Amino acid sequence: MRVIGTAGHVDHGKSTLIEALTGAHPDRLKEEKAREMTIELGFGWLTLPGGEEVGIVDVPGHRDFIENMLAGVGGIDAALLVIAADEGVMPQTKEHLAILDLLQIPAGLIVLTKTDLASDSGWLDLLEADIRHAVKDTVMKDAPILRVSARTKKGIQELIGALEKLLQEKPARLDLNRPRLPIDRVFTMSGFGTVVTGTLSDGHLAVGDEIEILPKGSSGRIRGLQTHKKKEERAVPGSRTAVNISGVDMEQIQRGDVLAHPNQYQPTRRIDARFRALKDMSKPLRHADEVKFFIGASETIAALRLLGRDELDAGEEGWIQLELRDPLIAVRGDRYILRRPSPAETLGGGVVMDHQPKGRHKRFDEKVIKSLESLAQGSPADVLFEAALALQAAPIREMVAKSRLEAESAESALQELLETGRLIVLEDGGKNAKSEGLAIAAPHWNRLQEKFFQFVEAYHEQFPLRRGIPREELKSRLKLASKIFNAALSFLVAHNSLLDLRGAVSKPGHEIRFDGQEQVKVRGLMRRFEENPYATPSVKECQAEVGGEVFNALTELGELVVVSSEVVFRKTDYDTMVKQVRSAIEKNGQATLAEARDMFGTTRKYAQALLEHLDAIGVTVREGDARTLRK
């Protein structure tokens, strides 16, 4: 599930473009429709040609509502920078572009809208050159430019195709098993109660989960989940999610709060961060300036403490400590924006380095600066974890080699990852930095085992009368190398998550059960075996009488034993025959085909099928016309 966001100057056609893409206009407030201007965040979605659903966040372009825009772009996977062909690059275009760059939005497209108002292709060429100049030093520098008219629908299908290609090249959001939903809307629905919405990150939510609303700490439970107005039992990272909560009133929640699992996040009032000032910042940023701090869907006033200097000029970078007026939720690696309260202006932004610093830093302490610079490189555990994420499933030794950590740091980092569950060892081989044992980062493992469960459950639903999905078929569906598949399956079996039954993989508790009509057919077939235990119905006759799936189920359950392509016996009769053949050979030293035939009062066909079967499974050996027991 992916989410994209719009960005661009007011009245450049962002909402109209979304309506052309999705069929629904995102403006929902009466005031928005009256003023023909997006004030609050709007939402829509579309299904790409390949079947993936994509959510779209429509953000305000007018400068008076720029801070509402910030609440919508923090969790997006890609951006559509919308520029009208009749106006070109405008002030809010530049400001939105700067925000996308500061937040390091991972991908984007530039959409040149209203091209029906500019029929001169030469003008459009000049406009594209101007756009290229404007984006040259930003995350959008390589973004394709697409010419579109939302009114005539020209270029819309090409835009959808380009968006699908863009998202296919970007990795899906990781499930770190610590969900965060920054709340950008809260409302009530008759018969349901409190509902909050946001873009989910870092983990999944499920119906029935206990949750808390931070920073206040209000506790509740998830009654229902929706994604794109469809009910879901589980919401995944990266999805636009609506959560129906029981136990928390609407009045206890506000935009900027965070929904999470209990005891996974702690509010903070102080943050250490790396900051980059915009090149067009109007005047230097000084120590003790008051700023507006935006992160996720949250905003608050903060006192700025410059570390190692007294002021920061436009275009410069530095270390800062922010003391927040209100507590909020942030984690290391989150991106943020700073704005000047008055006159309103975007100052710059950066990345959170420490979301729980121990105290107020001495501003000109070199040790503080060195500590922050070291933290920017990541702790040894973070570095090793990034290497594990990059390698998917691999021997521990290879992960350590990729991390380039020194031996002592690598060993302690490995133990930290194992103790915290961020790294899973799938096979024996030692849990040290030199181990050849296969390991996998927890987010990758969560996704992989979920795929195992999905394929096994789907097979049970499709073939309820089979023990489970054949191992090789499961491996093929998962598209895994044998080493990784075998290690992962062994791990799941060892932890009783799956069963491996003679090469068929199933869920614990899965049973083959015949319905009433099938039971009648089975009883009828078994009577025929009982009447002639050694001259039984053929395989084809059995399949015709009870059906192929039921016949296979009887062999899976061990009630029937197939000894050749044509001959099958009841298990009790088969065991009797094997025992009597062995006894005859032990007594006489050998047994011939004719003797076996007479022993059971059957025909040559059945006796020969049985003896050849016993040869094949290693009970007997043929010597001329007779059989002896295999030594």
Average pLDDT over residues 398-414: 85
Tell me, yes or no, whether 395 and 466 share the same domain.
yes
pLDDT at residue 50 greater than cutoff 90:
no
**Domain limits at 241?**
180-260
Compute the mean pLDDT over every residue in the chain, rounded to the nearest whole number. 87
pLDDT of residue 210: 96
pLDDT surpassing 70 at residue 60: no
Prior bond of 91 cis (ω within 30°): no
Distance between CA atoms of residues 521 and 553, nearest Å: 13
Among candidates 80, 118, 72, 137, which has minimal Cα distance to 296?
72
Q: Which residues 6+ apart lie within 8 Å of 346 measured at CB?
A: 66, 95, 98, 99, 278, 337, 338, 339
Work out how many domains the chain is built from and give that number. Answer: 5
Residue indicated by tokens 């873009």 = 199
pLDDT tens digit string along 315-356?
999 999 999 999 999 988 888 989 999 888 889 999 998 888
Looking at 139, 168, 197, the residue that finishes a domain is 168
Neighbouring CB atoms inside 10 A of 134's CB total: 19
Whether residue 362 is found in the same domain as residue 424? no
The pLDDT confidence band at residue 202, using thresholds 50, 70 and 90, is: confident
What average pLDDT does this structure show over 226-242? 86
Strands 298-307 and 285-286, bridge-based pairing: unpaired
Task: From residue 376, give the alpha-carbon distance in Å to each of 202, 306, 543, 588.
Answer: 20, 17, 68, 84
**Spacing of C-alpha 440 from chain mean position:** 15
Return the beta strands (E) in 53-190 as ranges: 53-58, 78-84, 108-113, 145-147, 180-182, 185-189
Domain match, 11 and 155 both: yes
pLDDT tens-digit readout, 557-590: 889 999 999 999 999 999 999 999 999 999 999 9
Look up the CATH number of the domain holding residue 397. 1.10.10.10
Per-residue pLDDT, 70: 52
- Beta carbons of 227 and 181 less than 8 angstroms apart: no
Beta carbons within 8 Å of 198's beta carbon, 6+ residues apart: 75, 181, 182, 183, 184, 185, 240, 241, 259, 297
pLDDT, residue 26, reads 55
What pLDDT sits at residue 42? 65
Please tell me whether the peptide bond between 267 and the residue prior to it is cis, using omega within 30 degrees of 0.
Answer: no
Q: Which residue has the tokens 């990781």?
A: 174
489 or 53, which is more confident: 489
What whole-number distance in Å separates Cα of residue 298 and Cα of residue 257?
Answer: 7
- Residue 279 pLDDT exceeds 80: yes
520 is a domain residue: no
What b-and-e string marks burial along 304-337, b requiring 16 or more CB atoms within 10 Å of the CB? bbbbeeeebeeebebbbbbebeeebbbbbebbbb
**pLDDT for 65 beyond 80:** no
Residue 40, pLDDT > 50, answer no
- pLDDT given for residue 414 in this prediction: 92
Q: Is the pLDDT of residue 74 over 70?
A: no
230 with 194, same domain? yes
On whether both 282 and 320 belong to a single domain, the answer is yes
pLDDT band at 12 (very low <50, low <70, confident <90, very high): confident
> Tokens 């697409």 map to which residue?
146
Question: Strand order in 393-395's β-sheet?
Answer: 393-395, 438-441, 423-425
CA angle (340 as vertex; 338, 346 as ends), nearest 5: 55
Please indicate, yes or no, whether residues 10 and 146 belong to a single structural domain of this protein.
yes
pLDDT of residue 276 exceeding 90, the answer is yes
> What's the pLDDT at 59?
63
Average pLDDT over residues 488-513: 91
Helix, strand, coil % over all residues of the chain, rounded to 5: 35, 30, 35
Confidence of residue 169 (pLDDT cuts 50, 70, 90): confident
Rounded to an integer, what distance in angstroms lies between the CA atom of residue 423 and that of residue 442?
A: 5
Higher pLDDT, 282 or 30: 282
Are 480 and 502 in a shared domain? yes
Please answer whether residues 474 and 455 qualify as being in contact, where contact means their C-beta atoms are separated by less than 8 angstroms: yes
| Helix extents (H) in 431-570 | 442-462, 471-478, 482-494, 516-531, 539-546, 548-556
pLDDT level of residue 98 (50, 70, 90 thresholds)? confident
Residue 301 three-state SS:
strand
Q: What is the mean pLDDT of residues 154-175?
A: 85
As a whole number of angstroms, the distance between CA 150 and CA 628 comes to 85
Is residue 73 predicted with pLDDT exceeding 70?
Answer: no
Q: Check pLDDT > 80 for residue 16.
A: yes
**What one-character DSSP code corresponds to residue 363?**
T
Task: Tell me, yes or no, whether 68 and 90 share the same domain.
Answer: yes
Question: DSSP of 384-418, one letter per residue?
Answer: HHHHHHHHSEEEHHHHHHHHT--HHHHHHHHHHHH
* Model confidence at 311: pLDDT above 90: yes
Which tokens in the block code for residue 148?
A: 């579109």
| Rounded mean pLDDT, 500-504 | 86
- Residues 561 and 490 placed together within one structural domain of the fold: no
pLDDT, average across residues 525-545: 94
For residues 11 and 156, membership in a common domain is answered with: yes
The predicted-structure confidence for 297-309, as pLDDT tens digits, reads as follows 899 999 999 999 9
Q: Which contiguous run of DSSP H or E holds residue 131? A: helix 121-135
Residues 22 and 150 in one domain: yes
Q: 14-47 burial by CB neighbour count: b if 16+ within 10 A, else e?
A: bbbbbbbbbeebbbeeeebeeeebbebbbbbbbe
Question: What is the mean predicted confidence (pLDDT) over 104-112?
Answer: 87
- Give the integer Cα–Cα distance in Å for 525 and 545: 7
CATH for 105: 3.40.50.300
Domain boundary among 168, 201, 227: 168
Which of 260, 277, 306 is the last residue in one of the domains?
Answer: 260
- H/E stretch holding 3 reads strand 2-7
The answer to whether residues 390 and 382 touch, using CB atoms and an 8 Å cutoff, is no
Over residues 563-572, the pLDDT tens digits come to 999 999 999 9
pLDDT digits (tens, 9 = 90+) for 183-201: 988 988 888 889 998 889 8
